[in-house]
């Protein structure tokens, strides 16, 4: 039930170490976000199946957490498996979701790169933000378009910060992560799911196909490898006006 883009921890095969490592990265971002929260009303935008929202709710029983995701199946799963007394879920579009009262903290992890218009998302997040509130957000900062068909944009730390700066929000605490590539099975496509070694198995085939239609992107990938080595990098920041 988990894919290249979504992980359902309760359905995950514990024998797949690479998948566990990816889940750990996601949980570490939520732990950083948990330590950065302020106020009593918290929004988790694009919460997926709810495991991160549940972490926030468990660590902050004094806060009301709202988890939003556009996928009704993910929301149904979250309500069935990750419900907490101070946590509610709602199926809604991140770009158009509205609330009658502002949120003191908004968490949106690995969301921005998925949407056609990141500027529109940030505009909505700032509309939802209470006076003096903060946004904790993350993006990959190495190329991903070649390896992940769900990603629509690449970001650098500078371009990430610019999205928020136009709204008077500046990056404060930063959390950087490095994920080394998993090479085993990169160009393999197993016949059965049970034969899969990890969630990114077979991605290499899609990467080669991407370069055939976007040949200049290969230079961006080579530059990234020369600078950072064979790894993916992620940046999570707390943005606020103070």
Report the pLDDT value the prediction gives residue 189, as an integer from 0 to 100: 63
Locate the domains of the chain by residue range.
Answer: 14-186+230-240
- Helix axes of 17-36 and 51-59: crossing angle, nearest 10 degrees: 40
Residue 166 CA to residue 172 CA, distance in Å, equals 16
What proportion of the chain, given as a percentage, has pLDDT over 70?
Answer: 88
Among candidate residues 34, 78, 77, 81, the one with its CA nearest the CA of residue 59: 34
What proportion of the chain, given as a percentage, has pLDDT over 90?
Answer: 76
The pLDDT tens digits for 121-178 are 999 999 999 999 999 999 999 999 998 989 999 999 999 999 999 999 999 999 999 9
How many helices (DSSP H) and strands (DSSP E) are in the chain?
Answer: 7, 7
Specify which residues 89 forms β-bridges with.
67
CATH topology of domain 14-186+230-240: Rossmann fold (3.40.50)
Residue 190 pLDDT exceeds 60: no
Look-up: residue for tokens 């230079």?
219
Mean pLDDT of the chain: 90
Residues 6+ apart with CB under 8 A from 156: 141
Give the pLDDT band of residue 9 (cuts 50, 70, 90).
confident
Q: pTM of the entire structure?
A: 0.89
For the chain, what's the residue count?
242
Residue 155 CA to residue 97 CA, distance in Å, equals 24
């Amino acid at each position: 039930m988990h894919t290249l883009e979504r992980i359902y921890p309760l359905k995950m095969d514990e024998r797949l170490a690479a998948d566990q490592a990816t889940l750990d990265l996601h949980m570490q971002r939520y732990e950083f976000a948990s330590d950065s929260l302020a106020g009593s009303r918290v929004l988790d935008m694009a919460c997926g199946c709810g495991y991160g929202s549940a972490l926030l709710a468990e660590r902050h029983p004094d806060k009301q957490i709202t988890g939003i995701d556009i996928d009704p199946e993910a929301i149904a799963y979250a309500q069935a498996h990750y419900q907490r007394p101070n946590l509610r879920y709602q199926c809604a579009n991140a770009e158009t979701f509205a609330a009658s009262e502002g949120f003191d903290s908004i968490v949106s992890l690995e969301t921005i790169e998925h949407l056609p218009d990141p500027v529109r998302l940030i505009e909505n997040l700032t509309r939802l933000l209470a006076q003096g509130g903060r946004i904790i957000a993350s993006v990959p900062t190495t190329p991903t378009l070649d390896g992940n068909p769900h990603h629509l944009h690449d970001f650098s730390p500078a371009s990430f910060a610019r999205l928020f700066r136009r709204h008077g929000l500046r990056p404060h605490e930063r959390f950087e992560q490095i994920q080394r590539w998993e090479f085993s099975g990169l160009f393999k496509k197993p016949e059965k799911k049970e034969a899969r070694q990890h969630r990114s198995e077979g991605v290499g085939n899609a990467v080669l196909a991407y370069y055939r239609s976007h040949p200049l992107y290969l230079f961006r990938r080579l530059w990234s490898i020369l600078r950072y080595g064979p790894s993916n990098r992620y940046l999570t920041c707390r943005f606020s006006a103070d």
